Amino acid sequence: GEDVEQSLFLSVREGDSSVINCTYTDSSSTYLYWYKQEPGAGLQLLTYIFSNMDMKQDQRLTVLLNKKDKHLSLRIADTQTGDSAIYFCAEDNYGQNFVFGPGTRLSVLP
């Protein structure tokens, strides 16, 4: 079946850029998503990219998609302590079959 993989932990210093990476196996993915989960809360959609795009920028967030290598990344510029959370990569096929990665716990050090 489809699989989504992420590294489990990332630590960065406040003000630095964070890059969270994700790989997936489903070549028929239509959308790829980044969700954020703060402590004690549910998942919130951060951003998403359609599979025919290479890059999407939204304020401090930059999503890069390499469809050939099935690699997705999320870059957070000027990382703040409020960005500390778990970030989930997810992919779907026309909303029929969401598959989530295990999540990357981002720790922002002062």
Partner 1 sequence: ETGVTQTPRHLVMGMTNKKSLKCEQHLGHNAMYWYKQSAKKPLELMFVYNFKEQTENNSVPSRFSPECPNSSHLFLHLHTLQPEDSALYLCASSRSGADGELFFGEGSRLTVL
Spatial separation of the C-alpha atoms in residues 108 and 93, rounded to whole Å? 33
Q: By rule CB under 8 A, what string of x and - marks binding of each residue 63-92 to partner 1?
A: -------------------------x-x-x
Site string for partner 1, 5-34 (x = CB under 8 A): -------------------------xx-x-
Of 24, 34, 35, 87, the residue at the interface with partner 1 (CB under 8 A) is 35
Quick one: which segment of 11-19, 40-48, 51-59, 69-77 binds partner 1 (CB under 8 A)? 40-48
Size of the site for partner 1 (CB under 8 A): 23
Whole-angstrom CA distances from 14 to 37, 43, 110 are 19, 23, 5
Please report whether residue 103 would count as binding partner 1 according to CB under 8 A. Answer: yes
